[in-house]
Amino acid sequence: MQFKKKNTFDPMPNQATIKTFMRSVQKETTDHLGITHPHHSNCSKQDREIIKSLAIRSADKGGGIQDYSKYRLEILHQLSDSDTYLKLNGDPTIQVKRLIETTLQKGLEQEFLDQDFWEFLQQSNPRTPVIYILPKIHKSLQDPPGRPIVSAVGAILDPLAR
């Protein structure tokens, strides 16, 4: 089995060439479709404010839209469960990264790992995992409890979990 890191090229949207290309594509598209006011919204200001106050997530079973303030309260309620979650004083990513790097380096030196596998297990720029909830609307439509999901894609342990 070959372990190779996937290509991580991601053009930065603030680069001038990317911005120029995006403007060119937008202009060609609006010209082709005959759109005269491409930035005109069909929503009123009040509608846009309402939309901003919603948390739109796929629900645990089915689909749903939830008031963002209720969604936020449910996440805070979930995180306040001290039997499940421990409040940290800071982000432990750097300490965990150092521990993993030290362990992997020992594995490479003792030839438990080959160079390709060692490189595959490295996570040079890890991101902090993000928690969100999927509302369980099959239990309650008014105040649905949430099923917590932690997205750890790109996090420090991501390569080790593969």
The angle subtended at Cα 135 by Cα 58 and Cα 86, nearest 5°, is: 115
Q: What DSSP assignment string belongs to 123-152?
A: -SS----EEEEEE-TTT-SSS--EEEEEE-
State both tokens at 126: 């890890």
Q: Is 71 helix (H, G, I), strand (E, B) or coil?
A: helix
- Tell me the pLDDT tens digit for each residue of 56-89: 666 556 666 677 888 888 889 989 999 999 988 9
Averaged pLDDT, 98-104: 93
Averaged pLDDT, 146-153: 87
Averaged pLDDT, 90-108: 91
Cα-based distances in Å from 126 to 43, 44, 47, 90, 91: 38, 40, 38, 15, 12
Q: What DSSP assignment string belongs to 16-47?
A: HHHHHHHHHHHHHHHHHHT-S-TT--SS-HHH
pTM: 0.56
From the list 130, 147, 133, 140, the residue with the least C-alpha distance to 71 is 133
At 21 the pLDDT is 81
Q: Are 145 and 61 in contact (CB under 8 A)?
A: no
| Contacts (Cβ under 8 Å, ≥6 apart) of 150 | 129, 130, 131
Which of 12-16, 98-102, 116-120 is the most confident on average? 98-102
At 106 the pLDDT is 94
